[in-house]
Amino acid sequence: MKQKDIYTRLAVLFGIILLLNFLANRLFFRLDFTADKRYTLSSATLDILKQLKNPVTIKAYFSENLPPDIGTVRRDFQEQLVEFEQRSKGKVVYEFVNPNESEESEGKAQQAGIQPVLVNIRERDQIKQQRAYLGAVVSLGDGTEVIPVIRPGGAMEYAVATAIKKLSVKNKPKVAILQGHGEPSLEAIMQAKQELDILYDIEALTLTDSTAIPQGKYKTLAIIAPKDSFPGFHLDQLDGFLKEGGNIFVALNRVDGNLKTMMGEVKNIEIEKWLSKKGIVVEDNFLMDIKCGAVSVRQQQGFLQFNTQVSFPYFPVVSTFTDHPITKGLEGVFLPFASNISITTNDSLVKIFPIAKTSKESSLQKAPVYINVMQQWKKSDFAQSEIPVAVVATGQLAGNSGKKSKMVVVGDGDFAVNGEGDNRMQLQPDNVSLMVNSIDWLSDDTGLIDLRTKGVTSRPLETLEDGTKTMLKYTNLLAPIVLIILYGFVRYQRQAKKRQQWLEER
């Protein structure tokens, strides 16, 4: 080949590479084969980006030289921001800053609201802790929203999309949290409120004797763990709210378990009768499940006293969910002293169906009951299967003359309550997500609910049967060896065939 032809071919190859790079920047796309489509922007996010009128700036504060399992967060986040930029036609602009470069850069990151987290790194066969930054600041005009930490497997798209949505929307929908019947205050549901504050204005609402619930003011009314009885005119006001197309979320304690007195009793506050007229019966039973939480029990052995964790079936962990936007992505919701829900409607204008159920090994106990923490439970004690504990209702819930409305009812009132003062506790994320997703589904029509729990789904091996575990173990062990042997065999056959052809030609 002549030298001139070589130069020509190199020039053509170089030109093709430049053209491909140009097209890749202009026509960004990627193939997503994940089960939950975590690398595909949802229609809700695309709608938010299309409606942008002013530029959005995202400053990502990410440390460099992080361990591989943490470093992938930066790569995934950067790839997602590239797609945000492309889909918004340049309205979303981003930059990455390494706060670990200098004390000045670190100070700017902390002033912006990004606090460092400690990550473990291996250095010369030793594990050390390093301060790392994994956050971002979203700016639109004079407003800013801080994403303090972007965690591995977290809902990155939801964090960025909701930050942009919050900055770009001037008038947020209002959601009312009912008060006046012994319900927890807004401070007592702090985790859920912080999530809801992103897209809604949350207000406490106390019903009066004569004034109806303001129609059109609230998208959704939430009734959480009431303790006191509802007078009839308050229930009439709830019906009026439904009749005008309002939506209601109810988390109800139908029974009350007391670990100090070891007694479980029925609670009658009239709202359960109001629900039963709509075909939703929150039963006065205690749900029990073999898949449950634990309680701490003080035991004594000789002169020593110690606490031990005991499985407590009255604290079911619900992980059986219907395919629904509210429960999408949820893996386990902790429901202390919950009740089952029966569906009794015959109204063709109303549709009611369960969205959360107990496991295949569960049971019911009619209240009142004596609670024995140290009781030795047998498998035969859990003979029932998939008992409904949360339902969704849609249709003309206030009668044939009303507008269509929606309702979510959960057979436990305390699952999303943090408490106040010394009794405040941190809730697991899925508990908060169940309530927030419910209110999202009732209130928001943008589709952002699908993003809240979008991320890497956990599939722990502990939940698999022993046979499946063994199969996966030996598959992971033997598959690479078998592939290498097959490759070697194929390669040997090809070489033998070439050798035979060469001998025949000779």
In tens digits, what is the pLDDT along the chain, a chain of 506 residues?
566 667 777 787 778 877 777 666 555 555 555 555 556 777 778 888 888 889 999 999 998 888 877 888 888 898 889 989 988 889 999 999 999 888 888 899 999 999 988 887 776 667 777 788 999 999 998 889 999 988 766 678 888 888 898 888 778 889 999 999 999 999 999 999 988 988 899 999 998 876 788 878 999 999 999 999 999 999 999 999 999 999 999 999 999 999 989 999 999 999 999 999 999 999 999 999 999 999 988 877 767 777 888 899 999 999 999 999 899 889 999 999 999 999 998 788 899 999 999 999 999 999 999 999 888 899 999 999 999 999 999 999 988 878 899 999 999 999 999 998 888 999 999 999 999 999 999 997 666 666 665 554 445 555 556 677 677 777 877 888 888 888 888 888 888 888 888 877 76
CA distance 178 to 17: 62
Burial 334-360 (b: 16+ CB within 10 A, else e): bbbbbbbbbeebeeeebebebbbbbbe
Block residue for tokens 């406490």: 204
Strand order in the sheet with 174-179: 201-206, 174-179, 220-224, 247-251, 405-410, 388-395, 350-357, 320-321
CA distance 239 to 277: 11
Q: Is 506 helix (H, G, I), strand (E, B) or coil?
A: coil
What single DSSP character describes residue 95?
A: E
Lookup: tokens for 59: 């400053």
Task: Write the DSSP assignment of 263-306 as a string of letters.
Answer: EEEE---SHHHHHHTTTEEE-SEEEEESSEEEEEEEEEETTEEE
The kind and range of the H/E element at 408 are strand 405-410
Long-range interactions of 32-39: CB distance < 8 A, separation 24+ = 35/457, 36/329, 36/454, 36/455, 36/456, 36/457, 38/157, 38/454, 38/455, 38/456, 39/76, 39/79, 39/80
CATH topology of domain 174-443: Rossmann fold (3.40.50)
CA distance 104 to 133: 14
* E strand spans, 101-168: 117-123, 126-132, 134-140, 143-147
Per-domain boundaries in the chain = 44-166, 174-443, 466-505
We find that the CATH architecture of domain 44-166 is 3-Layer(aba) Sandwich (3.40)
